[in-house]
Structures are given as structure tokens and as C-alpha cells.
Structure 1
Amino acid sequence: MSDILLAEIIRLVSIVLSISIVNFVVGYRKNCDIDKWKNIAIQSVIVVIIFIISKYIDVMNLSIIYNEKTNYIENYFSLFSIIKNFDFSIINLIWITVNIVIIVSMTLIYNKIYKVEWNKFIFLYILSGQYTSIFADIIIPRILFAIQTGKSLSDNIVHNLNIHDWNIFNIEVLANLFLVCILIIIFIKIINKILKNKIYVYASYIILVNSVFIMLKILVRFAEMHGPFQIEQYLIIMEVVPQLAIIAITVTIYIVIEMKKENEERIKEKQAYNRLETKNDYYEKVEESQNQIRRLYHDMNNHLYNIQMMNKSSEDTSDYIVSLQNELKEARKTRVSGNSLFDIIVDEKMNICKNKGIEFDIDVDSKNTGFIKNMDMSSILANILDNAIEACDKMTSNKKYIKLTSMWADDMFVIICENSKENEVKKIGDRFITDKLNKSEHGIGIKSVEKSVKNYDGNMMIFCDDNLFKVKIMIPKR
């Protein structure tokens, strides 16, 4: 393999690694169900385009070198240094424009296809890019070069290296960068698994971000041992440290904002839980009342039967008693699906649908579901039906309907709720956002359902299009 071809392969691998880092940081497939091959095709197109652009940037770098501007600092394409030195030359403006175009294009792709919030993507893309650049271009190469040669990258020895030497060195740099990324990913996964409290998790992230300064301290020590020290010192103190300080402050602010959001979410969940407790108490009282009424119906039927037997001679009295018995039979036509709380919730929502002109189609079996706590049954069923009723109530045309089905499929209790809709349903992150007037209640119902389902190691799937919203819940038998 020729050295030129190897250099291009190294460039391609470095781009793939950089894109992979961005994908991990933004969690690009977390919020979408994109086909595997479609995803591979999109990612391949992104890599190829960036590969072509990077080729042109390298050509631009070479033109600067051949114009005898060979000092590394002068050739170091850093937005920070451009702003600091007010050096908005044509070359720097081209560099800035190219990066803006890349950021805008990537943001549109990840927002439209992968459903990543545009502001979150831009922030994390720039952040991960800066950290990757600092590790790949400064920290790892300099430490590795000093270990292998006993010299600094600012030493004249670098001019004696040929393209083959640089290729081997760049492969080693990529391998070490890959190892660093793997260690960071393992660290993050362990932290998320061990620390349940998000505050401690965020605090660990802040420590991780600032740990780069420890690496810089090691780099300074290497620079002192392997001269020329002044150029290395200038690069670290005047260029890298200020960038890292700004990034660290930005990350800290971002994490504080995320902690604030997390705290607000906990408050909303607590409020939702309190409302659910109140609603559950109401359903339990209704259940108790219905049991008393059933006993009363039974006793009343017996009394009427006895009176009828005693008054066989009176035709008017007998007809009156028969009419009372028929009314009692009609009043007792309540649903008996196997779970009394399930029936109470369904009956309540069915009456609401009747008043709102919503067709309610029902086919339910909730036998042997006593292992599901009343609080969770209330959370699951009431929330999905409330959301369905709300969506139908906002419709101005077409047929308003809700179809509720529950059944046992082997050892899995399945609830399927389908409803018509017209309003747009948006998803941000892992939350569904509707057009409720009260912004604080967005997505809380679905999140509450999901939490209750997970209590039983169940799954919830959601499908929606312009005219339909469908929720499927599967809970394994205990």
C-alpha cells in the first residue's frame, strides 16, 4: 500500500471516529426508529462530504506553508485565535464559512432525520469537536512524540520525518484517541449505572471535563523535559488553556441548566403523582360504593320478589313491581371485565365520550390482573384514555373515535388504545409534546404511564400519523 493511499485512509478513519464521537454525545438514534441501512447510507454521505471538504482545507494549509508561513501557531486554524488576533483574512473567513455550512447542514440532518433538538446538537457538536481536536491535535501527539523520540513536536527533528513516518505516527495517535474515547464511554456508563441521583452524575461530568487540565499539566512537564519549551509553552498557555477554560465554563453552565430542568421535572412528576393518588382514592371510593350498591340491588330484588309473591292478587301492584325490577336490571348493566377498578375507569371515560360525541369501541378482558396495583392501573388506563379523549375533543372534522382493547396473549397482558386525531404531536427527546395550554403538563401523562409499565418490566410502544394515535402496552404476568 502506497504512503499516499495510507494517508487518505487515515484521514477517512479519523473522520469516521470524529462523527462516531458526535453521535455518541448527542445520542443520535435515541429518539427515532430509523432503518439500519438508511442510517448507514446517511452517515456514509456525511463522512464522504466531510472527507472531500477536509481535502480542500489541507490544500489551503499547504498553500500557506509554501508561502513560507511555516510556524505552527500561525497555521493553527482556531476560531479562538482568529477572534483574539482579529485576523479575519480571506483564508480564515473561508475556514469560518466552511465550518458554519457544515454545522448548519449537520444540524438540519440530525434535527429532521434523527429528531435531535437543534440547539442541543449545535452545542454538543461544537463541544465534542473542540475536545476531540485538542486531544487529537495537541495532547496525544505531543505526549506520544516525546515518549517515542525524546523530542518535542516543535523541534526541528520533525522536518526529517517522511510521509511514511507521519502515517505510522498518525495511526498511533488515532489508536490512542480511540482508547481514550472507549475509557470515557466506560466511565460514563459506570457513573450512570452506579449513581442514581442525577445531581451526582452531572457533578461527575464536570470533573471529567476539567480533568483535561491534568492532561495539560502532564504535557507541560513533557515540554519542559523535551525542548524547545518556549513554543510548546506558548501553545499550551496562550492557545489551549483559554479555549479549555471557556469550554469548561460553558459546560458547567449547560450542566447547571440541565440540573434545573431535572429538578423541574421531579417537581412536575411529584405533582402528577399527587394528582394520581387523589384520583386513585376517588376510584377506590367509587369501587366501594358500587359494591354497596350491588349488595343493595341484590337485597332489593329479593324484597321485590317477596312483595310480588304476597300481592299476586293485585295486578297493578304486580306490574309496578315488575317495572321496578326491570329498572334495577338496567341499572346493574355495568361492565365486568375481571378487574373492578379497570371497569370503573372505563365506565367513567365512556360517559365522558358519550357527552362529547366520541364513539367508544371497547373489547376488554382484564381477568387475573390483580398483580397490577390500583395506583399503576389508574395511571396507565386513565392517562391513555384522557389523552385519547383530549385528542378527539380537539377535532373539528372527521369521525371522532376511541378503540380500547385489552387481552391476554400467552403470559402477557396487552392494552391497546387507538384514537383519531387532528392536532400535531411533537416529540422532543423522550417526551411527547402536545398543544396543551398548560406547558408544565406536556408529556407528563405519557411519562407517568411509562413509569408504571416499567414497574412490571413491561413495554410501551407508540405509533402516530396525521390522523391516528395508537398506544400498545404489554405487561408480563407475575
Structure 2
Amino acid sequence: MWVYQGLDILGTLLEAMGLYVLVNAFCPHREPSWRYLVPPAVFFVSVYLWTWFWEDSAYKIAVTLLLTFLAYKGLTKQPAMAILAGMMTQQIYLAAANALAETAAFFLLDEMTVVVEGQQFLRPVVYGLYFLFQIAFMLFFRFFLRKYAGGLDKRSVLAIALPFLLIEVLVHLLTVPFHNGQWGWFNVYWELGILLIAMLFLVLLVYIKNNLFLREQEQRSKLQIAHLQQQFAYYQDKQKEEERVRALYHDLKNHLLVLEQQPSTEAACQMAETLRGQIAAYEDYVHTGNEFLDIILKDKAAKAREKGIDFSAQLDLHGADFLDPLDLSTLFGNALDNAIEASEKLPEGQRLITLQGKRIRDMLLVTVENRAQPESTPAQGTSKGDPFLHGFGIPNMRQAAERYGGQIQFQQSGETFRLKLLLPIP
């Protein structure tokens, strides 16, 4: 008996692991937490207790899934549709794995079951097949859902609920007679029916996820293109303005020289001081070796000063002209916008942003640091009310870095938030 208890425990552990993997795949935006381990534990304990301590298995699946759903909803605060989609997908592939194992054993073995201490059990080889098929399905769905990340809307969940309910009915018609010790419990047509419905579920899920993915990518692409075009046009205008100001700056210096040669009067000194104050901001112009980036930094530095933020930048991008202006805008514009937004939430005396960048052999290393409220950086890259419209900053930065074979990292330690950008220089 202990052998079958061990096999049952191993099988239930695999089922709980599959639940954890599948629900998390439908709820990708989350912080690591022990709370996500509790619902699979509830599932494991419920299944184990019901299998070995309650004889009536009529409501085993329904009650177990209800308790698991309530645990997920109460502890993780994830959308109900995402939780339901993950649970239904897990139950579908469990039923398919079980049907495959039992059908294969029916044709390969003379006897699928064995009686131990008056109870009917499947032979260990059937358990082994079930475990292998279960792991294969779990890995397949995990890979598929990583490619098409994200949850499902209500209409999609209702669409995949029909195959789920059909499979649950067929599984119920098979498992209840088996647990009651009836010898004629196996029905190959019902097993094949489960497999066909599972395939229907898979095709439906692939279609829905692919359709949602393409639709979302199209919407995001349109927003990204519009945003980048707007930024590009803006910084082109800024570049023209900077050229005009630098010409004016040159003339102002000449005016100052003339004033300084005039007799020293209070009016002349006052005029000279006023002119020096007007051009002071341009004395601190950041020269990075990339004119387009100079404009971006000048603009962000002005915004930082307006908000009482101490801003300093030390970058040397000579030899790094491989970066496209749009990507420069995406990487540095979004990084500094996020830093300014985080700094605004602090008292004025604590607002600080530092930007450093240098070439290390064949790599360009850029670091942006700013003070922020402890653990205030949102997981999805935005703290605004509508993450779909406003959460493109960090994803866009990742994509821009990956286009050059680089990577971007975000770290927060106490009150310091740090962004590190590493790009290979061709």
C-alpha cells in the first residue's frame, strides 16, 4: 500500500506544480512572493485528504478547484479571468495526460489495475506514463504561454470553458466508477473523447492567444511609432533652437566685452550681470560627443531644475555614433523621465539624479541613479493609472537595448534606484 501512497503523493505534487506554473503564466506581471505558493499547497492538501480519507469522490474536483481559486484570489489579488484560465488549462492537460496513459496501458498491458488490501489501483507503469505525459504537457504549455504572455478577457475564458466542462464531465464518469471499485470503469471511447476535446481546447487556445497577441502588438506598435515620431520631431526643433541660442550666446559674449570696456558705472555692471545670468545655463552645456544626446540632456536638465532636482551628467559617447537618434530618445529620454517622476515625490532637499556613461573596452556602460521612495518602482514600469497607455517606457527601453545586443537592468536598494545600460560597441 505504501508504494501506491508514494506514487499518489508524487502525482499530486506534479499536479500542484503544474497549477503553479500555469496560473503564473497567465498572471505574468507579479512580484515574487510566498503567497503564490499557498494555493498550490491548498490544492495538494485537498486532493490528498480527499483521496485517502474520504470515500465519496463525486465532488472532489469541484471542491478542490473552488478552494484553490479562492486561495489565489484572496492572496494574490490577480484578475479572476487569469486565474480561471490557468486552472482550466492545468485541468485540461491533466485529463489529456491521464487519458493518454490509460489508453496506452489498455493496449499494452493485459491488466491495467491491481487490487491491494481490497482497494483497486492502477499498476505502477500506468502512473509512470501519466507522470511523463503530465510533465510533457506542462512544459509545452509553459513554453507556449511564455511566447504569448498575458491573460485572457472574459469572452475568451468563456470560449475555452466549454471544452473544460465537457472534459470534466467525462473525467467524472470515469473516475467515480474506478474509485467505487467497479471493474468495467474503463471506456476507450470516453478516453478518446477526452483527447479530442483536449486537442480542440489547444487549437482554440492557440487561436485566441495568437489573435490577442497580434492585436495587442499592433496597438502597441501604433502607439510606439506615434510616440517616437513625436519625440523625434520635438528634438529636431530643439536642435534648431540650440543652434540659434549658441549663435546668440556668441554675440552676447561680445556684448559683455564691450560693456566691460566702458567706464565702470553701476548701470553697466548691472547690465553685465544680467547678461551673464541669461547665458549661465548655456555655460553648463553637457558635451557628450553626440549632439542629439546633448539636446536631450539639456532639455531634461532644464525640467529637473524647474522641479528643484539636483541633476548632474558626465558622459563620453565619442565613438558611439552607432546609436540611432530614436533609440537615444527612447533610452535616455525615458530613463530621465522616470527618474524625474520618482524624484518629484521626495522633499526638495532630497531630490538628486546622476547620469554617468563611459566606454569600457568594446562596451558602453551608462548608469542613471536617482533617489526614490523605498520600493516605489512599479513592476510594470509605470505608476500611472492606465498601464496600457503609459507603461511603454521600460519595455521600449529593453527593446531598444536588445536591438544592439545589449541589456538593461533595474535595481533598487533602499532609497536609491539605479538603471544600468550595457551596450556593445561595434
* TM-score (normalizing by structure 1): 0.63
Percentage identity across paired residues of the two chains: 17
- Tell me what 2:7 maps to: 10
- Tell me what 2:52 maps to: 59
Q: 1:129: how far off? A: 3.1
Deviations 1:350-384 (A, max 9, x none): 11222222222333333322111111001111112
Aligned to 1:337, the other structure's residue is in SS state: coil
- Tell me what 1:72 maps to: none
Residue 391 (str. 1) matches residue 346 (str. 2): no
Q: 1:345: how far off? A: 0.9
Give, in whole Å, the separation in 1 of the partners of 2:421 and 2:102.
Answer: 52
Give, in whole Å, the separation in 2 of the partners of 1:356 and 1:439.
Answer: 24
Which 5+ residue runs of structure 2 have no aligned equivalent?
A: 149-155, 171-182
> What are the equivalent positions in structure 2 for 1:247-286 lying under 5 Å apart?
248=201, 252=204, 256=208, 259-260=211-212, 263-286=215-238
Contact 1:22 1:124 in 2 (8 A): no
Residue 171 (str. 1) matches residue 127 (str. 2): yes
Give, in whole Å, the separation in 2 of the partners of 1:106 and 1:439.
Answer: 23
Deviations 1:21-50 (A, max 9, x none): 23443446965675xxx98x986x877765
Question: In 2 relative to 1, CA 129–5 (structure 1 residues): closer, same or farther, beyond 3 Å?
Answer: same
Give, in whole Å, the separation in 1 of the partners of 2:406 and 2:191.
Answer: 52
Contact 2:100 2:130 in 1 (8 A): no
Give, in whole Å, the separation in 1 of the partners of 2:211 and 2:62.
Answer: 33
Contact 1:10 1:167 in 2 (8 A): no
Letter in 2 for 1:58: T
- Tell me what 1:470 maps to: 418
Give, in whole Å, the separation in 1 of the partners of 2:23 and 2:217.
Answer: 20
Question: In 2 relative to 1, CA 465–243 (structure 1 residues): closer, same or farther, beyond 3 Å?
Answer: farther
Contact 2:286 2:313 in 1 (8 A): no
Contact 2:256 2:272 in 1 (8 A): no
- Tell me what 1:88 maps to: none
Question: In 2 relative to 1, CA 269–417 (structure 1 residues): closer, same or farther, beyond 3 Å?
Answer: farther
Letter in 2 for 1:119: A
Moved more, 370-379 or 266-275: 266-275
Give, in whole Å, the separation in 1 of the partners of 2:222 and 2:351.
Answer: 33
Residue 20 (str. 1) matches residue 17 (str. 2): yes
Letter in 2 for 1:144: A
| Aligned residue-pair number | 392
Contact 2:356 2:367 in 1 (8 A): yes
Q: 1:417: how far off? A: 2.2
Aligned to 2:355, the other structure's residue is in SS state: strand
Match 1:426 to one of 373, 378, 396? 378
Deviations 1:143-187 (A, max 9, x none): 4223322x7x7xxx8669988983423333334424642783598
> What are the equivalent positions in structure 2 for 1:119-134 lying under 5 Å apart?
119=80, 121-134=82-95
Contact 1:379 1:449 in 2 (8 A): yes
Q: Give the aligned CA root-mean-square deviation in angstroms.
A: 5.0
Contact 1:357 1:400 in 2 (8 A): yes
Aligned to 1:434, the other structure's residue is in SS state: coil
Aligned to 1:433, the other structure's residue is in SS state: coil
> What are the equivalent positions in structure 2 for 1:156-235 lying under 5 Å apart?
166-178=122-134, 180-181=136-137, 184=140, 188=144, 232=187, 235=190
Give, in whole Å, the separation in 1 of the partners of 2:263 and 2:14.
Answer: 93
Give, in whole Å, the separation in 1 of the partners of 2:291 and 2:214.
Answer: 36
Which 5+ residue runs of structure 1 have no aligned equivalent?
A: 65-74, 78-91, 194-201, 217-227
Contact 1:392 1:420 in 2 (8 A): yes
Aligned to 2:384, the other structure's residue is in SS state: coil
Deviations 1:416-456 (A, max 9, x none): 223344595433xxx323124x6542211222222211111
Contact 2:355 2:369 in 1 (8 A): yes
Question: In 2 relative to 1, CA 279–254 (structure 1 residues): closer, same or farther, beyond 3 Å?
Answer: same
Give, in whole Å, the separation in 2 of the partners of 1:175 and 1:476.
Answer: 45
Aligned to 1:360, the other structure's residue is in SS state: strand
Question: In 2 relative to 1, CA 49–420 (structure 1 residues): closer, same or farther, beyond 3 Å?
Answer: same
Question: In 2 relative to 1, CA 96–27 (structure 1 residues): closer, same or farther, beyond 3 Å?
Answer: closer
Give, in whole Å, the separation in 1 of the partners of 2:229 and 2:100.
Answer: 55
Give, in whole Å, the separation in 1 of the partners of 2:416 and 2:213.
Answer: 31
Letter in 2 for 1:18: E
